[in-house]
Structure 1
Amino acid sequence: MEHLINIMKPEDWEQVRSIYLEGIITGNSTFEADALDWDKWNCAHLREHRLVVRYGDSVIAWAALSPVSTRCIYSGVAELSIYVAAKHRGKGIGSTLLKAIISSTEEAGLWTLQGGIFPENTQSLSLLKKHGFKEVGRRERIGKTTYGDFAGNWRDVILVERRSAVAGIE
């Protein structure tokens, strides 16, 4: 059976949330201590840029964008979140999903995707670099994580961005 990429639906939330919680528990994916409920998550993410990877009836990965600002000058800039279920990592799913979200954003005219990654999350940094993201900075000791091996420790965040070669170039 092949996997399919399509738009995230509200009924996907429990599976999406489960994958997100896997990331939270590692202590190496986010500063968040828990996943938001659907209503709060839904309000915080751009509706037109939410994708899931399905394998049969299961959601095995997801990507979504958050606005970086309400100011119109930043309307083409969004923050990327991408998560792959633990048992499906290392199989090219993240790469396929990242290509799809990049395509959807460029078709919609978004010119910059950005993100913040813990330096220890080398797998995510490598994936993003492979798809044109560049390191643009480092926020040192910006916050403390609450889970995993780094719980209670101050953490750095690597700032990455990808500038489109087709959107926002005129």
Structure 2
Amino acid sequence: MELIEIKEEYYPQIASIYAEGIATGQATFELSAPSWPEWDLSKLNHCRIGVKANNQLIGWAALSKVSDRCVYGGVAEVSIYISESHRGKGVGRMLFTALIEQSEKHGLWTLQSGVFPENEATVKLHKALGFREVGFRERIGKLNGVWRDTVLLERRSKINGIN
């Protein structure tokens, strides 16, 4: 497996992996993958990482800003998606580890994620990599007409934002 920087040329594969996550009903409130321009605008320009195996993208991770307010400039929200055929094989851990390292190189001090509590594997991965549960959002939004909860997880950098 090889870590790569995400570029527009990979977007069809990114969208396909995202669609697999959407189809589970456990990954996002989104109902379809956005276009490249929408995806590109919604993510930070750095910390866009993919994993390739056999010349095929099998997972991706990227960060989004949480606010336009300058005081939150070091806080970002995590998106991480693994192709269905590669889940449970260490791809998520590989991506997340690289994402944490890159985020700290870019001065970020907090990474956060909102995860459906039923997505136990993703919650477990977050916690294994130093995230802690900081909240529970009851009926925060509807997915296909059904109210869903999310668990709010965050990881504070041990390098940035400590002084």
Q: Is the pair's TM-score, using the shorter chain for normalization, greater than 0.5?
A: yes
Query: How far off its partner does 1:108 sit?
Result: 1.1
Q: Which residue of 2 aligns with 1:54?
A: 52
Q: Which residue of 1 aligns with 2:126?
A: 128
In structure 2, the gaps of 5 or more residues are none
Is 1:144 aligned to 2:142, yes or no?
A: yes
In structure 1, the gaps of 5 or more residues are 147-151
* Residue of structure 1 aligned with 2:155, choices 132, 141, 162: 162
State the structure with bigger RCO (CA 8 A, min sep 6), 1 or 2. Answer: 1
Output the amino acid matched with 1:16: I
* Residue of structure 2 aligned with 1:69, choices 55, 67, 70: 67
- What is the root-mean-square deviation of aligned Cα atoms in Å? 0.7
Is 1:93 aligned to 2:86, yes or no?
A: no
Q: Which residue of 1 aligns with 2:13?
A: 15
Output the amino acid matched with 2:69: R
Output the amino acid matched with 1:161: E
List, as ranges, runs of 4+ consecutive aligned residues in structure 1 with deviation greater than 2 Å. Answer: none
Q: Which residue of 2 aligns with 1:33?
A: 31
TM-score by length of 2: 0.98
**1:110-148 alpha-carbon deviations (Å, 9 max, x no partner):** 0000010000000000000000001000110111112xx
Query: How far off its partner does 1:56 sit?
Result: 2.4
Query: How far off its partner does 1:90 sit?
Result: 0.6
Partners of 1:57 and 1:132 in 2: CA distance: 31
Partners of 2:81 and 2:38 in 1: CA distance: 18
Partners of 2:105 and 2:43 in 1: CA distance: 18
Output the amino acid matched with 1:4: E
Is 1:153 aligned to 2:146, yes or no?
A: yes
Query: How far off its partner does 1:6 sit?
Result: 1.4
Partners of 1:107 and 1:41 in 2: CA distance: 23
Task: Determine helix, strand or coil for the equivalent of 2:107.
Answer: coil
